């Protein structure tokens, strides 16, 4: 807890800034968009097609938030019809290693988590 408390006190806001950033980057859609854009520049329709289950509205909101936070760049090409492409910024690309580490942890712990869930459900009945 000492490391967390130290990190939260850096800004003097009781961790509000840190929690806001973690809420953004730990969102399932954020991680999927970032992973999909890793090493690619994609149009909205291509992103939408590659991320199963995301609505157009949620993809739009996620991309806007990532652009606002400086993790995704949005490039509008002056063509008819207009072409808009999205890519990770260097800050967005730096999110890939920790996201992969988190995914690896989840994969490694799936059996334990599934066992624990089954035991919990059995006790609840």
* DSSP label at residue 55: -
| Chain segment 57-70, per-residue pLDDT in tens | 999 999 999 999 99
The phi-psi region of residue 79 (left if phi > 0; otherwise alpha if psi is between -120 and 50; otherwise beta) is: beta
| Chain segment 77-124, per-residue pLDDT in tens | 998 888 999 999 999 999 999 988 888 898 999 999 999 999 999 998
Residue spans of the domains in the chain: they are: 27-94
Establish whether the linkage from the previous residue to 59 is cis, with ω within 30° of 0: no
Q: What pTM value is reported for the model?
A: 0.79
CATH of domain 27-94: 1.10.10.10
């Amino acid at each position: 807890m000492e490391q967390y408390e130290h990190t939260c006190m850096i800004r003097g806001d009781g961790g509000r800034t840190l929690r806001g950033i973690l809420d953004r980057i730990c969102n399932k859609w954020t991680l999927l968009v970032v992973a999909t854009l890793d090493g690619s520049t994609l149009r909205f329709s291509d992103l939408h097609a590659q991320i199963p289950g995301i609505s157009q509205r949620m993809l739009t909101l996620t991309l806007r938030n990532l652009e606002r936070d400086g993790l995704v760049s949005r490039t509008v090409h002056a063509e008819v019809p207009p072409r808009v492409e999205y890519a990770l910024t260097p800050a967005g690309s730096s999110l890939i290693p920790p996201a992969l580490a988190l995914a690896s942890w989840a994969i490694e712990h799936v059996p334990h988590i599934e066992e624990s869930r089954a035991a919990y459900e059995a006790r609840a009945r």
